[in-house]
Structure 1
Amino acid sequence: MLTAGLSMMADNIEHVITYWFLWQAFHSPALVGFQVISHWLPFLLCSVWFGELAERHDCRRIIQIAQGLFAFVSVAWGVLFLTGTLTMWEACILLVLHGCAGALWGPAEQLMLHDFAEGRELPGAVRLNATFKSLGVLAGPIVGSALLLALGPAIGILVNVLFYLPMTLLMLRTPYTGHTRDGVVRRERLGPLRSLAVLRTVAGDRVLVAMIALGGLIAVGVGSSLQVAMPSLADALGAGDAGAAYGLLLFANGVGGVVGGVLLEATGVIRPSTRAAVVATFLFGVTTIVVATSPSFLVTVLALVIGGVANMASMTIGQAVVQLRAPVDQRGRVIGVYSMLTTGLRTGNGITLAVLGSLIGVTGTVLVGGGVLAVGAVVIAALIALATARRRAAG
């Protein structure tokens, strides 16, 4: 879990350094948009296939390939920065490869968690892993900025390669393969298109559908819009120095996830269930609305922290429930479906930001997203209650 946090920190360090360098080199708004799309689109297009690969192969090796691809991209950035030969098309290729590495890593990592922990311990393992990754997300911009200022973009991005090594080395030492506990390894090759047949399995389980729908709502409704809105929120709130306000808002947004993971794991008050996931998602929507409308800097900070806790609860409950309910022989692909819709749909959030943002502003788009999330959670809760009532009447 610590190694996952370091890798996630390295992922975010790369964003800090490369995004800064690319803007300085090209000043291209189109490239800025491509940075977002290239990061999330591989999750949307490839997650189910990568989940199927995790079912068939040793997950340790898949994780090492993903970490190696991350490291290769960092080395390539460093060499191109040092030689001053970076072109736009090379930048686009490296951005896509970086996104593919993240999509490849996800399903294999989740299968490893299922291997490490027994069923009753799995929710806690998911929460702890997500908490350490949230710490990585929180630390990434800080460490990335320090490397950029102290060493420059070329040397800084090359040093970043070191943070991918711990997880790579851990995979050499652990005896778990992602299939050790249940002993099920799928042998036949399905390919990207046939892997999508798992959608029928998911569609037949209303709990899985509810978890995926909630995660998809968060991805489309809020996604990355809170982070994008931070500069304009800081200016609008007028809390002294805009740079300091921006930093504090970013910190509050990140620390909520860390606090949420620690509290949920330490207290154990929230058990993984559909109801808990719905309530957490609704609360995340409400706090997002508060962030977009509050004139108070303090209230906004508190809403960001509470929203981070709610988002963490919804995400980790969804991941745990999906893993526990997925058929053993299709677990990788079911996790891939969950990743495809709960992470890949952030691509749609980027498009929404571009379209609505030009019409009603970024803050207005955040408000709409929060409202959609809150209303969507209520609708899903109503549909679940209706289905439960019908099942009891029929039984």
Structure 2
Amino acid sequence: MKPFLTLKIPNFRNYLLGAFLSEIGNQMQVVAVAWQVYEMTRNPVSLGLIGVANFLPIILFSLIGGLVVDKVDRRNLLILVQGLQAILALSLFGLTMFHLINPLMIYVILFLISTSQSFSIPARQSVVPHLVPKKLFMNAVSLNTLQYQSAIMIGPAIAGFLIAGVGVQAIYLVNALSFIFFIMAIFSIKVPLQSHDREAVEFSLGSIMEGIRFVVKTPILLTTMVLDFLVTFFGTATILMPVFAQDVLQVGPKGLGLLYSAPAIGGVLAGLFISLMHHKIKHQGKAIIASIILYGLATIGFGFSKIFPLSILFLVLVGFGDMFSTIIRNTIRQLITPDYLRGRMASVMRIFFQGGPQLGDMEAGFLAKVIGGPVSVVVGGVGTVIITVLIIWKNKSLRNYTLDKD
């Protein structure tokens, strides 16, 4: 199987390019916000509060966002939400440029960005199945993950140099402009982005519950979502990167950019591997388990490391394990979810796959204040491995799961 076969499909190729360029700006902003907050406060708890600001909208608005995605025109929704996110990035630029910014303002803007993502993330995930034929879908998922990880690899590295050179305000401006590329890509797509009757979807609690019931009644979805939530809650160390860059490894903003980029290198390698070898991955359940255990062990290694190149290596392994599991789980979810439920399904998934890391950021920030950043990361990695072992011990169906069963 050719690894880039789906790039011959113009609609998917345009979508991928627009998403990639926009995501570079977004990942630059993630680094800029964390650096700016830590520079203002020098307190890891303030970094944990970034996780709180990002997490609250996930709980409050994700289920509503998924229902909206299934009800309204997905193309118009995506264009509207990208425009709103561009305005919020411009707000960060202006407030920083004129020295009006403070941590509370940043938290409020992050809350609004996360709220908008409650609509844009399920919309994006619901669009991809309409751009490629079903037989090429795992290839499309791996390439979509590849572009995302490439953006995470490139964006933070650029951000580190820009912070050192011209300051964080330039990053916010670049991110605001980057949304133009994704909006242009959405305009260029020539196929319908929904195949179900939108009028049949009602704005009601029952419609929201329909997505939840689908997850509960589909064991592989429920198990992998719970596993994802727990391991990312314990294992995530991203929010503590400024602590490691400044206080542990002492590598400054350029080193910070590389620390943020390193997991994405592993993610890119995972995406390339699956795009080349996806037809040979027959035991998806075992692949998910192995990749998550790798993620936990590499997190432990990173927590212990005091050597910058070794820390980078461990983070590459963290990214490989994380993305290998993510690609397979996303493929399973998309293939077994009917189109009329895709938005709601993606919103339920967001509560698990983003709620875990955001709560984990909060936990890591507060724990680092008490026991220090490195010990906090090691404890999280150990927790990840223990949770994974307990779940696979109790759940044989995950160990034995293959896509052929569905």
Q: TM-score, normalised by structure 1?
A: 0.84
* CA deviation map 1:56-84 (0-9, x unaligned): 12222222122111111122223333444
* CA deviation map 1:331-376 (0-9, x unaligned): 2211211111111222321232144334433222222222222222
What is the match of residue 231 of structure 2? 218
Structure-1 separation of matches of 2:184 and 2:164: 29
What is the match of residue 266 of structure 2? 256
Give the residue type in structure 1 aligned to 2:219.
R
Structure-2 separation of matches of 1:23 and 1:299: 24
Moved more, 149-158 or 8-17: 149-158
| Structure 2 residues not aligned, in runs of 5+ | 1-15, 401-406
Asked if structure 1 preserves the Cα contact closer than 8 Å seen for 2:241 and 2:259, the reply is: no
For this pair of structures, how many residues does the alignment match? 383
What is the match of residue 382 of structure 2? 371
Structure-2 separation of matches of 1:102 and 1:154: 22
Q: Answer yes or no: is 1:281 the counterpart of 2:296.
A: no
Percent sequence identity over aligned pairs: 22
Q: Which of these residues, 156, 170, 173, is aligned with residue 141 of structure 1?
A: 156
Give the residue type in structure 2 aligned to 1:187.
A
* CA deviation map 1:36-55 (0-9, x unaligned): 32123322332222111111
Structure-2 separation of matches of 1:149 and 1:164: 24
Q: Answer yes or no: is 1:127 the counterpart of 2:158.
A: no
Superposed displacement of residue 164, structure 1 = 0.9
Kindly tell me: are residues 271 and 176 of structure 1, through their superposed partners in 2, closer, same or farther at Cα, counting changes over 3 Å? farther
Superposed displacement of residue 315, structure 1 = 0.9
Q: Which of these residues, 330, 339, 364, is aligned with residue 353 of structure 1?
A: 364
What is the match of residue 10 of structure 2? none
Kindly tell me: are residues 153 and 309 of structure 1, through their superposed partners in 2, closer, same or farther at Cα, counting changes over 3 Å? closer
What is the match of residue 51 of structure 1? 66
Structure-2 separation of matches of 1:3 and 1:18: 23
Q: Answer yes or no: is 1:72 the counterpart of 2:87.
A: yes
Asked if structure 1 preserves the Cα contact closer than 8 Å seen for 2:48 and 2:239, the reply is: no
Q: TM-score, normalised by structure 2?
A: 0.82
Q: Which of these residues, 313, 324, 328, is aligned with residue 317 of structure 1?
A: 328
Give the residue type in structure 1 aligned to 2:273.
L
Moved more, 122-131 or 13-22: 13-22
Structure-2 separation of matches of 1:235 and 1:87: 22
Structure-2 separation of matches of 1:26 and 1:249: 21
Once the two structures are superposed, the pairs formed by residues 146-157 of structure 1 within 5 Å of their partners are 146-148=161-163, 151-157=166-172
What is the match of residue 240 of structure 2? 228
Moved more, 54-63 or 355-364: 355-364
Kindly tell me: are residues 41 and 163 of structure 1, through their superposed partners in 2, closer, same or farther at Cα, counting changes over 3 Å? same
What do you get for the CA RMSD once the two structures are aligned?
Answer: 3.1
| Structure 1 residues not aligned, in runs of 5+ | 390-395
What is the match of residue 7 of structure 2? none
Superposed displacement of residue 89, structure 1 = 5.1
Asked if structure 2 preserves the Cα contact closer than 8 Å seen for 1:17 and 1:153, the reply is: yes
Structure-1 separation of matches of 2:171 and 2:397: 55
Counterpart secondary structure, 1:133: helix
Moved more, 10-19 or 49-58: 10-19
Structure-2 separation of matches of 1:301 and 1:329: 42
Q: Answer yes or no: is 1:290 the counterpart of 2:305.
A: no
Structure-2 separation of matches of 1:150 and 1:229: 19
Q: Which of these residues, 252, 257, 277, is aligned with residue 267 of structure 1?
A: 277
Kindly tell me: are residues 151 and 323 of structure 1, through their superposed partners in 2, closer, same or farther at Cα, counting changes over 3 Å? same
Structure-1 separation of matches of 2:300 and 2:293: 11
Superposed displacement of residue 151, structure 1 = 4.9
Structure-2 separation of matches of 1:6 and 1:267: 26
